[in-house]
Structure 1
Amino acid sequence: MLPQLRINAQDILPSKIKTGMSDDELVRMSNAVVIKATKSILARRDPVECTIRLFSATFYLSDDAPLSVGHAVGSAMVTHKIEKAEFRVLTQKKRLECTIGDMLTYGKRFVLFFNKCLNAFAGLTCLCLQNLRFAESDFVSNILVTCKQLNYLGFLNCDTKSWITLQVEHAQLSELSIVNCRFDMVELTWLPKLTCLAFEIWIAFNEPPLSFGYVPLLEVLSLSNVAYNRHKMVKLSTFLGETSVLDLKLGFKCEKIWVQPECLAGRQAHVFHQLRILRLFGIPEGYDLTWTMFFLEAAPSLEELYMTVVKWKWMRR
């Protein structure tokens, strides 16, 4: 009768020290539990009396676990009422451990999983992916086309073999997270329900590889970047275009502030007119606060201001 079902491979991952197992063996063991639990629970649900408000599965992209979970969830979507369904796909190696070869391998595994479990993906409302490199440049677009019910989509350390301009169009998507990903450009072409966006780390670019199209409901925006001396500072009024966010987070992951103070007038000031909450993280110690005063003057409706100051030891570049 439980309305919410969360099955997470990380929660049942045994201790490597206590068991003496290798990483591969531990992953296989936890995945096996996820498969068994998913099949068992979904098979015993009454499709008439017990609506599943949320089904969330977190599993590793290895062996036959993805296909087994995907087929079980896809079948359940046909016979049960599942209001929200989530897949959080993990890789055995963490982001900093992954080589390009690892990412390509993980990308091929995910494409196979995706193509063989289209019924499950078509009903997903949340999808979180990490450490994937796709050989086909249009595959990310295929995800958006197939997963029509998505409310949340998250990419961590993902890219395509050939850098592309990713045009994002989706009728239902309300939250999008793109962190440490490598795309030539991300164009938010048409996202009528998008309210929350996280776009972080574009170290290889002088300008943010992001453009705002039709995002009329965008309220919460998180931007973080590593900026070196050779990089240009960003004019937020130009970058944010026609948006008017309520909650803005800016992260500075190096010794240079990448936001440029501006003299705003007329239409430019509209960008910050509704700003209520401003969060500034990783401000270099001793930095000139002219740009901070710019925000205080540009946002007349500001209610909350958070700031953290750090001492960077990175070398200048």
Structure 2
Amino acid sequence: MPRLRRMRPRRAVEEDRLSALPEELIRLILSRLDTRSALSTAVLARRWARVPRELPAYDFRVSDILLPEYDQTVALRRLNLPRDEALCRIVDGPMASREASTMRAFVDGVTGFLEADGGAARRCPKTLRLEFFQTDDGGRIVDRLITTAVGAWGVEDLEVAVRPAFHGPAPGYGIPLEDGDRSRLRSLMLGNCTLPPNLHCYDALTKLVLRDMAASTPADVYERVFSECARLQVLHLTSCGCVGDSLVVCSQIRELVVEGCSFMEMELRDLPMLARLACLTNTVELVFGSVPCLTHTNLTFSVEGDPLVLPPVPHHHDQLNQFLDMSPTMENLVIRFTGPKTWIGVKKLDKPLLHLKRLLVADVPSNWDVSWTRTLLMAAPSLEVLHIHVAHSKIPETYGIIWSRTSQKQCHPHMKEVVMIGFTLTRLQMEFLKYVVSTCTSLQRLVLLKDGCVRYHGLWNWDMIGEQQECRWRDHDKREVRRMIKSGPSPLVELIFG
């Protein structure tokens, strides 16, 4: 007798299991997706169609729909490859066509988004991020999206970046906001755009980020930012150009970041509230006036010169020395040295850094004598944490720095922790270590790592990370270091080799 099979009852056709998911789970799933993918989930279930309207941020980026081959071709063309002109024309034609077709798809997608539910869809994002190629159709739909987002939806954080077409005209996009809408923005980022007029109408703006401003931008355009944005607290300038030799800064801002800019000189004339400063380009000469509240600083020096021949005029030590002398309130300092050929000279500071607590000296060329950091130690009587990162190099350790040998010692009673990455037990490094352990009377933690890196958390915080590998220290070297440390004024709580 054949065995009867038990048949499961079929579920009703109208059952929607995706819509039956809890609201919190749907929101969690959508929060992990980019905007394009989150909006596409509307086709999955009826209930999912309305949830993307409640997302706190919308991202519309033309990069998300560009094929990977486009970026690869752009990278080759920037290297002037291929060399043959006929091949260049063959490559460039499809690139222009791809930019145009991508923008058509971008315009269609944004148009469909704006016209959902007859254009009456209620949305409540706080952030809108846009990236697009500048075309006639693209400009019109972007204008419509920005005015709708700020005026009707209440967007407060706006980011607009024009991606330059490889063979297109230079971008010159300006955001189209009315006076009433301008006053709603609290954060604004502009990339490859023109600075809007009537900045005084942006009276709620507290953060402004400018990227890739043209080299033809007059200096007074930037100075208008300081004079007209009354509530501005944070200003970031990245890869910005300027007509004129000097940019004068007078403002109530609290944070200033300058990175990769081509300004010749930036005069910080009157910044009574400035607390955080990062200058990540050596082409900008900082001239300090009044910065009485500066506490967190990040400086990057890229100094060129022959690493084996002492330059006749080591002018960059004057810039560093001038800066440190003008920042007596500093508590947290990061100094980085970048570039294939670097030099620095440090002389005694005219004014002590009485409030400095944490100091990182990173990317120090391995051929330098790290003893020069004693200049900073002697000027910082309250220093508690000293971190030094020595970059690996095939150049042998030399006196590649202006450092006058002296037997002078100064007690550092507040020093608690010293970490050094790139410690190789050379004679000059051992002399510096001997100085540290003999003068830091309260030293509790000493970490000596042969390999590792600095992990940055933002611009003013960091961790010293050692490589996860077997310790390559010889027993003889460990005994020599321990013997040196025991001769110090007080025993260490923790000693780590790595």
Q: TM-score, normalised by structure 1?
A: 0.70
AA of the residue aligned to 1:233: H
| Selected match of 2:280 from 200, 208, 225 | 200
Residue 59 of structure 1 corresponds to 131
Q: How far apart, in 2, do the equivalents of 1:38 and 1:276 lie? A: 52
Residue 333 of structure 2 corresponds to 248
Q: How far apart, in 2, do the equivalents of 1:136 and 1:38 lie? A: 38
Residue 105 of structure 1 corresponds to 170
AA of the residue aligned to 1:257: W
1:168-183 alignment runs, 5 A limit: 168-171=249-252, 173-183=253-263
Rate the CA distance shift 1:313–1:143 in 2: closer, same or farther, 3 A: farther
| Selected match of 2:317 from 228, 234, 242 | 234
Rate the CA distance shift 1:30–1:212 in 2: closer, same or farther, 3 A: farther
Residue 219 (1) aligns with residue 299 (2): no
- Specify every segment of 5 or more residues in structure 1 that has no aligned partner in the other structure, as ranges: none
Rate the CA distance shift 1:249–1:277 in 2: closer, same or farther, 3 A: same
Aligned 8 A contact 1:7 1:37 in 2: no
Residue 24 of structure 1 corresponds to 99
Q: How far apart, in 1, do the equivalents of 2:290 and 2:133 lie? A: 34
Q: Which has the larger radius of gyration?
A: 2
Q: Per chain length, whose mean CA-contact separation is higher, i.e. which structure has more relative contact order (CA < 8 Å, sep 6+)?
A: 1
Aligned 8 A contact 1:174 1:193 in 2: yes
Rate the CA distance shift 1:90–1:308 in 2: closer, same or farther, 3 A: farther
| Selected match of 1:257 from 324, 339, 343 | 343
Q: Deviations over 1:166-185 (max 9, x none)?
A: 112333x3322211212221
Residue 150 (1) aligns with residue 228 (2): no
Q: Secondary structure at the match of 1:193?
A: coil
- Specify every segment of 5 or more residues in structure 2 that has no aligned partner in the other structure, as ranges: 1-52, 74-93, 175-191, 306-310, 401-498
Q: Deviations over 1:252-281 (max 9, x none)?
A: 1133233x333346xx00xx2211222222
Q: How far apart, in 2, do the equivalents of 1:69 and 1:117 lie? A: 21
AA of the residue aligned to 1:15: L
Q: How far apart, in 1, do the equivalents of 2:198 and 2:150 lie? A: 12
Q: How far apart, in 2, do the equivalents of 1:75 and 1:148 lie? A: 26
Residue 299 (1) aligns with residue 404 (2): no
| Selected match of 1:129 from 201, 211, 214 | 211
Aligned 8 A contact 2:61 2:130 in 1: yes
| Selected match of 2:157 from 82, 85, 88 | 85
Rate the CA distance shift 1:117–1:250 in 2: closer, same or farther, 3 A: same
Rate the CA distance shift 1:234–1:177 in 2: closer, same or farther, 3 A: same
Q: How far apart, in 2, do the equivalents of 1:167 and 1:147 lie? A: 15
Residue 308 of structure 1 corresponds to 389
Q: TM-score, normalised by structure 2?
A: 0.48
Q: Secondary structure at the match of 1:105?
A: coil
AA of the residue aligned to 1:89: A
Structure having the larger proportion of residues in strand? 1
Q: How far apart, in 2, do the equivalents of 1:37 and 1:277 lie? A: 53
Pairs aligned (count): 290
Deviation of 1:284 (Å)? 0.5
Aligned 8 A contact 1:70 1:120 in 2: no
AA of the residue aligned to 2:269: T
